Structure formats: C-alpha cells, structure tokens
Structure 1
Amino acid sequence: MSAPDSPSAPPAPSAPGGRLKTALASAAGTCVENYDFVAYGTASALYFGDAFFPESDPLVGTLLAFATLGVGFLMRPVGGALGGYLGDRHGRKPVLVGALLVMGVATVLIGLLPTYAQIGAAAPVLLVIIRCVQGLAFGAEWGGAVMMTFEHAPRRRRGLYAAIPQAGNPLGIALANIAFLLSASIDGDLAWRLPFLASSLLIVVGLVVRMKLSESPEFEAAKAEGDTVHNPLLTVLRDDWRNILRIIALRVVESCAYYLTATYLLSYITDRNEDDRGVALAGVVIASLLAVGTTVLSGALTDRVGRRTVYLAGCLLAVAFGIPMYVMANTGAAIPIVLTFLIAIGVIHAALTGTQAAWFAELFRTGTRTSGASLGYQTAASVAGFAPFVAVLLADSFDWWGPAGLYVAVSAVGLVGVLTTRETWGPAERAATPAEPATPGAAASPQRGEAVPSSSGDRR
C-alpha cells in the first residue's frame, strides 16, 4: 500500500498569476477536447446516418450513428485509467499535452474520412476506429486538466479554480455547435466536414498554451518525498473502490442528462420538423455559453455552502425537469425550445459540472487522485454515451415519454450518489484551513479537508 501524503512538508502554493494561468490553460485544452468530441455527437444526430449508413431505414440509420457515438464512450474508461496511471506516476502535464495532440489528429481525420458512397462498408469501420481513438484521448485528458488546476489552486478557493477547466466543456460545446450552424447552409459533405477540419486551429492554440504550464506543486512535492504510488490504478481500485462507485453515480446524472438533451433531444426536435434544426442548434449554443458562467459560479458557490449542497440542488432540478422539457419541446415554438436547452444545459448541467472537479478530487489522496477520479468519471461517461441510443429505442415504443422517463431515472441515480457521498468541504474545513500566505512562495499549511479517510489508512 502507498504511503500517505506527508503533512510535514506541504507544497509551496503557486503564485496568484500562475494559478489563474494554469486554470485558463487547462480550460483552453478542455474546450478543444470537448469541441472535438461533441462535434461527433452533433454530426451523429444530423448527418452521419445518411453519410455512413445510407442503405438503412431512417430509424436504423439513426441507431447506428448513435451506436458509433457510444463506441467512443466505451473507450473513455480505458483512456481514463491510462491517463490517470501516467498522471499519478509521471506528472499531470505530459498527459495534458499528449491527450490533446492525439484527440486533434483523430478529429481532423474524421473531417477527411470518405463516406459510404465513396468506399462502401470500409467507411463506417474507419469511423468507429477513429472514434475509439477519440475516446481514449478524451478519457485521458480530463483528470490531468482538473487535477493540475486543483493542485495549483489556493486551498480556500479550490471549488472556484477547479471549476474553470470545467467551464471549457460548455465553451467547446458552444463552439462546435456554432461551427455546425455556420456550415448548415453549405451543400454536400462540407456541411459536416468543415467543423472537424476547423478544430486544427484550436488544437494548435491549446498545445502552445499547455506546453508553457508548470507541473503540479503537489505532485512535485510527493515525487520529491518518495510518496508517489508504484501502481496507482491498482492501489485506488483496492483501497478506494467505494469512492469510485460514488463518482460513477454522481457523474451518470450529469453526463446522461447532457447527451439526452444536446444529442437526442436535438435529433428528436429535428425529426419532428426539419425547419426547427436551426432553432434547436441555436438553443444549444446559447445554453452552452450561459453554462460557461454558471459552471464557474457553481464552483465558487461550493466554497461557501459545500460541494454536496450544490450537487443535490442540481439533481433535484433534473428530476423535476424530465417531463416538462418534452412538453416544452413539443410545442414547436422557438422560445420554449430555446428555454428547454437553457434550463437543461445552462443551469442543470452547469451546476453539476461546476461542482464535480473539486468534490471528486477531494475524495482521493495526491498519489492516486488522478487515477481514482478519472476512472469513476470516465466509466460513467461510457454509460452516458449510449443514452441517446436507448432513448431512440424507448421513443419507438413509448413516444416521448420513454426518453423523458430515462432522463428522470438517471437523475434519480445522481440523487443516490449525493446521499451516499460525504461532504468534503464545509464550515469545519474552512475553519481549519488558514488563509493563504501573503507572500507568494511562502509555505502553505496542509488542508485538513483535502482527502478522505478510508479503511486503507488514507488521511484527510
């Protein structure tokens, strides 16, 4: 078993400018990763059924398109395990750079991929292979980005700082959908190819910014003291598997609810009326831009009222909104459709994502933090990737009540996660954590609420 974090030699805090720089750089890369990954979901909902499965009937074509979407999600736990292992063993920064590079290459290749009409059955096969590579890269990226920011942040404001990379998620989503909105009027395959090819510009920016980051001070301190874990993946599975299961439950509501909205509901609205495609896409874009601010505000709020309180409010709102969202979407009117996305993505999803980073990180010690949080986070994502597929099947049998019920069900799973996961940041932790030193570089006192005690002997 690994040695616990040493309380006698805490890492020196980053300078204030360095903290913000790290948070923004992590957010920039997360934005690019989400642009690339979500662009596939949007293309699956709007184009891939015809481009890669043209001989199928419309229902089967949509199912196959969403199935290839889900394949990428299946690879995310593998990427999370690999990225977590490398991040806990060799540092957060190399994982950040490598994951972004791999994701960028895969996304550009999708933009260049021949269709079924050009090369036949080889087209969907190649699509699935590239999608798997995307899943690996995306799974590896999140843990490094969030833990790098969390470990650079001032201890009293880790909720706020850790939420900044999470805000890159909706920003990337917004940019991806803006790209599809701009290309919607283009005839032929360029309508979906251009958004993938355009990501190459974002990738260059993200790589340049991330290459300039310094390594996590907590990881460097653990490495210097010999407190890194030889096999962090096996260690966290053995000692902290309960926290991994809790993260899966907490993450399922956020991830499934998002894809049931931004991917399935987008397809549902478009199928009902092709003319509503632009309105629905605009709704996703506006909601995603709203979510950037809501995510950061939610993270800041957790530093005041606790992580659990904010997450509980988000889950309760999700349970309550499952049926009304379809009632609003079924009106076919622009304002209710846009409002549906604003509530589901701009409020509910953002409140959950803004809380996750700090809460999940505080459930694990430094030596296994990236592995534990990444494995739980990405395992839940692998389930969420098939949510649109299941929603199509349910809608075929139960009309819109089926996907609405699925949305409520995954929200209920999130409630179970909240009720079974302890608070990691509240009045006791704030009172026990001294203020940040006035002089940059002065030693910081250890945070009593940073990690979780467990049967393995890990300390708080």
Structure 2
Amino acid sequence: MSNDALTMRGPVSGTKDARKVAIGSGVGAVIETYDFIGFGTAAALYFGTAFFPGGDPVTGTLAAFATLGVGFAARPIGGIIGGHLGDKLGRKPVLVASLILMGLATFAIGLLPTYQTAGIIAPILLVLVRIVQGLAFGAEWGGAILMSYEHAPWKQKGKYTSIVQAGFPVGLLLANLVFLASGSLGGDWAWRVPFLASIVLVAVGLIIRAKVPESPVFEDVKEHGQIVKNPIIEVIKTDWRNIVRGIGLRIAETAGYAVSITYMISYLHTTELADKSETLIGLVVASGIGIFATMAWGRLTDRVGRRPVYIWSCLFAMLYGIPMFLLVNTGLFPLIIATMVISYAICQNSLAGAQGAWFPELFNANTRSSGASLAYQISAMVAGFTPFVTTLLFIGMGWVGPALLFSFYAAIGLWAALITRETWGKRERQLADEATTADVAHRAVSTEGSSAARHSHAARRADASEHTDATRVTPTSHEGVS
C-alpha cells in the first residue's frame, strides 16, 4: 500500500526530542494563555469600573468586553505574520519572538494607569496593549502546534499535540488561581498582581523554548528547496476551502467558550447567582479537569479519528445551550460548578483536543503554518466580540439569547465537521501501522548491523594490537640474542 496519505508528517516513529518539544511548546501555551485569558477574567470582573467607569455597570462591562474583542481581532494579523515567518524561517523563531512580545505586553497591563488617575488616556493605552497581546497570541499557536505535530510519531499525533492544547486549561487554571489569591489584596492590586507576576513565567518559558530543536518537516522542506515565496497568498489561492472549513470548526470551540465561560463569569456576577470568589472557584475546578480532558480527547482521536470526536461533541453542545443556563439559574453552587465543568471539559476541550492534529493535516507542509494559523485565528475575531454580542442579546432576550447563540455556534462546528475530510481514518491508521512495523524492523536490523560492525571493528583492532605487540617484541628479542 502507498504511504502518500501520510506524506510530510515527519519521521514515522517521531524524533528523539518529540516529548521535549511537546512539553516545551505546551509550556509556552500555558504562559500565553495565562496572559491572554487572564485579560478576559479581568475584563469580566474589574476593567469595567477601573477603565470605563459610569453609572450603569452593564455599560462598563460592554466597554470592557469590546476591549477584550480588540485583542481577538488582532489575532488574525498575528496569525498571518507568524504563519508567513513559520513557513519561511522556521517554526522555532516564531515561538520565541511571540513569547517575548506577549510577556512584555502583559507586564505592561499591570503598570497601566486607571481612568481615575489618567482619564481617557487609560482606556486608550489598554486597547493598544491589548492589540499587541493579540498579535503575539495569534503568531504563537501555529508555531507551537506544528513543532509538536511534526516531531511526533505518526500514530500519536493527537496525543502529542494535545499536550500543547492542554497548555490552555493549565494557563486558565493558573490565571484564575492568581486572581483568586489576589482578590484579597483589594483595590487595583487585585487585578495588577496577576499581570505583573506573568514576567516570571515568561522568563521560565524562554529558557525552555530556547532548547527546543527546529521541526524536521520544515528542515526537509528547506533542504528540498520547497519553501514558498509567499505562503499566505499560496495557501489562500490553493487551499481556501480548508481555511473556511477550519474557521467553522474553530468557531464552535472558541466562540462557544466565549459564551459558556467568558460571558458566563459576567452573567453569574451581574445576576448575583454567584460572587467573584465562587465564580473563580468554578473556573479553577473546570480548568483543572480540563487539563486531563484535553489530553484524553487528543488520544481518543488517535484511536477513532479526528472527525467522529468533533461531530459528536458539536451535536452535544447544540443540545446543551438551554440546559446550561437552566442549571446555573438555580443559583446552586454545586450545579454552577458542574455546568462549568461540562461546558469546558466536554464542549470545549474535546474540540481543542482534536484540532491539534486535524488542522495541520489539512494543509501541505510548505504552507501548513500559514493555513493552520489563518483558520485558527480568523475565527478568533468572532469569539473576541462574542461576549459583547452576548451581553446585548441578554439585554434584549434575557438568558435565552446567549443560550441560543451557544447552540448556533455548535451548529456551525457540526456543519464544518461534516464537510471536512477525515485525515486519520481507517486507511491512514492501517498505513501507519504498516509503516511503524517496517520502521521498527529497520531499526532492529540497523542496531544489529551496528552492533556486529562494532564487534568486527573491535576484533580487527584486537588483531592489529596483537600483531603490533608481536612486531614490537621480535626486534627486542633479536637484539638480546645478539
């Protein structure tokens, strides 16, 4: 059978650095998520009054969510830049540069003046820094996920990329733990400390990422002279359908998260169904479970394929929109936590776990970074302004509006999954089994050959040594007889 269906996926059995690369990429994802998602928590709980004060708290929340959306709007631009550089210069440089940019922007948020001290300058500075965050976050994902994917074994792409995807719930967990702890500080320090503390994580991340080797697939593309002059233009021209499909797939996950988590924080707070501490505790529990859920979903896609996981998860989310709000509307804290766990661990983590391997497999190796980044980040614009739109829907329709919007996003994801080809179906898994068996056998033969060669070489050296010793003794003995 031909292996054409598995071309340019990297070494059959992966590289010796596969695990180190996945963990290094995942650590970066943790840090960037901590920085980027932490902004969402702060926008829901603090920024409305700190940067957009007014008599109506809903108006302040709308303004804060609009600022949140600006960062998401900048992500496609970051994705374009990062994707282009990833296909031209390599995956690793993009990883390092995006982490530095994100770290500096996030640290700067912790130093910003509030509206009370600087007036209109304060929200303007917040928007500018948020744009920088969006550019950095948009550039980061493509490099991180492709490094992990292209180093991983064929049969475990879902497993290794899910380590990177699990970096997002880890970052969410850390951000909410820090916000939970800093809440006791009171005043502006309650939101400043989490952003200032991020500089420590960035330093650790840079040390780890500096040791990550470049992608073997990119090295092959470079060696064979297949680097495309304008990868963004090329992938749009030749593969725009997969970009559109990827956008649809991603909307169900990222925009769904914007309703069920980002907006839900504000909903629980403004309707007094839960206080800030209870809301953050719910998020901590959900994100903690989400770490393991994401990796479990990724491994499941290695066994059954990417598409089935996506289809069933989107179908569940479609039916979950109304019950999700009915559960939290009870005001019962255990049900609120359970709702957040279901929303995150099932509706969001299952899709994120599948995306890590599915998105890279939809595009050719020499335009993979550009194509995957575009599909992933363009959808972020929809997600970024979703909390703003959801707040407007709540004003006009009550909780039913946000619930229906959540189900609508899931329907988009289901449609996209149905029209997107399976890249890890039964045929691909069978081919990978055959290739892996052949690779293991080849490695065994090579190892035996190397061992035999070493023994032969050692024997020759021993013979040569004996011969040398003999030649050294003979003249000495001859001189003695004489």
Residue number in structure 1 paired with 2:334: 335
TM-score by length of 1: 0.92
SS in 2 for 1:47: helix
Tell me the distance in 2 between the aligned counterparts of 1:386 and 1:151.
33
Tell me the distance in 1 between the aligned counterparts of 2:106 and 2:60.
22
Tell me the distance in 1 between the aligned counterparts of 2:75 and 2:383.
11
Residue number in structure 2 paired with 1:424: 423
Tell me the distance in 2 between the aligned counterparts of 1:349 and 1:441.
42
Tell me the distance in 2 between the aligned counterparts of 1:368 and 1:12.
19
Q: Runs (4+) of structure 1 moved beyond 6 Å?
A: 5-10, 439-443
Cα contact 2:248–2:413 (8 A) shared by 1: yes
Displacement, 1:440? 7.2
Tell me the distance in 1 between the aligned counterparts of 2:96 and 2:261.
28
Cα contact 1:279–1:337 (8 A) shared by 2: no
Tell me the distance in 1 between the aligned counterparts of 2:190 and 2:157.
41
**Larger Rg computed on CA atoms:** 2
Cα contact 2:177–2:284 (8 A) shared by 1: yes
TM-score by length of 2: 0.88
Please say if 1:435 is aligned against 2:436.
Answer: yes
SS in 2 for 1:185: helix
- Cα distance, 1:116–1:86 mapped onto 2, change above 3 Å: same
Cα contact 1:13–1:441 (8 A) shared by 2: no
Cα contact 2:268–2:274 (8 A) shared by 1: no
Cα contact 2:11–2:151 (8 A) shared by 1: no
The C-alpha deviation readout for 1:185-235, integer Å capped at 9, x for no partner, is 211100000010111111111111000000000100110110111111000
Displacement, 1:159? 1.2
Name the count of aligned residue pairs.
439
- Cα distance, 1:333–1:371 mapped onto 2, change above 3 Å: same
Tell me the distance in 2 between the aligned counterparts of 1:440 and 1:16.
13
The C-alpha deviation readout for 1:50-103, integer Å capped at 9, x for no partner, is 000113521211100000000000000000010000000000000000000000
Greater fraction of residues in helix: 2
- Cα distance, 1:363–1:393 mapped onto 2, change above 3 Å: same
Tell me the distance in 1 between the aligned counterparts of 2:337 and 2:132.
33
Residue number in structure 1 paired with 2:302: 303
- Cα distance, 1:12–1:393 mapped onto 2, change above 3 Å: closer
Tell me the distance in 1 between the aligned counterparts of 2:266 and 2:444.
52
The C-alpha deviation readout for 1:416-454, integer Å capped at 9, x for no partner, is 1111101110110111221163477999xxxxxxxxxxx
The C-alpha deviation readout for 1:100-137, integer Å capped at 9, x for no partner, is 00000000000010000011000000000000000000
Residue number in structure 1 paired with 2:237: 238
Tell me the distance in 2 between the aligned counterparts of 1:257 and 1:442.
51
Q: Which amino acid aligns with 2:157?
A: R
Displacement, 1:11? 5.5
Residue number in structure 2 paired with 1:457: none
Tell me the distance in 2 between the aligned counterparts of 1:254 and 1:353.
7
- Cα distance, 1:40–1:298 mapped onto 2, change above 3 Å: same
Tell me the distance in 1 between the aligned counterparts of 2:5 and 2:430.
21
- Cα distance, 1:417–1:11 mapped onto 2, change above 3 Å: closer
Q: Which amino acid aligns with 2:436?
A: A
Residue number in structure 1 paired with 2:146: 147
Residue number in structure 1 paired with 2:411: 412
Residue number in structure 2 paired with 1:449: none
Q: Which amino acid aligns with 1:435?
A: T
- Cα distance, 1:251–1:288 mapped onto 2, change above 3 Å: same
Q: Which amino acid aligns with 2:326?
A: V
User: Which stretch has the larger CA shift, 363-372 or 282-291?
Assistant: 282-291
Cα contact 1:33–1:100 (8 A) shared by 2: yes
Cα contact 2:282–2:337 (8 A) shared by 1: yes
SS in 1 for 2:228: coil
Tell me the distance in 2 between the aligned counterparts of 1:24 and 1:296.
12
Tell me the distance in 2 between the aligned counterparts of 1:335 and 1:15.
43
Q: Which amino acid aligns with 2:178?
A: A
Tell me the distance in 1 between the aligned counterparts of 2:114 and 2:404.
35
The C-alpha deviation readout for 1:383-411, integer Å capped at 9, x for no partner, is 10011000100000111001011101111
Residue number in structure 2 paired with 1:248: 247
Cα contact 2:11–2:153 (8 A) shared by 1: no
SS in 2 for 1:386: helix
Residue number in structure 2 paired with 1:352: 351
> 1:60-99, aligned counterparts within 5 Å?
60-99=59-98
> 1:444-459, aligned counterparts within 5 Å?
none
The C-alpha deviation readout for 1:289-323, integer Å capped at 9, x for no partner, is 11111111111111111100001111011111101
> 1:205-224, aligned counterparts within 5 Å?
205-224=204-223
- Cα distance, 1:416–1:11 mapped onto 2, change above 3 Å: closer
Please, what is the CA RMSD of the aligned residues?
A: 1.9
User: Which stretch has the larger CA shift, 359-368 or 49-58?
Assistant: 49-58
Cα contact 2:31–2:202 (8 A) shared by 1: yes
Displacement, 1:6? 13
User: Which stretch has the larger CA shift, 260-269 or 130-139?
Assistant: 260-269
Tell me the distance in 2 between the aligned counterparts of 1:13 and 1:184.
49
Cα contact 1:284–1:345 (8 A) shared by 2: no
- Cα distance, 1:53–1:294 mapped onto 2, change above 3 Å: same
Residue number in structure 1 paired with 2:52: 53
- Cα distance, 1:255–1:15 mapped onto 2, change above 3 Å: closer
> 1:277-426, aligned counterparts within 5 Å?
277-426=276-425
SS in 1 for 2:23: helix
- Cα distance, 1:97–1:227 mapped onto 2, change above 3 Å: same
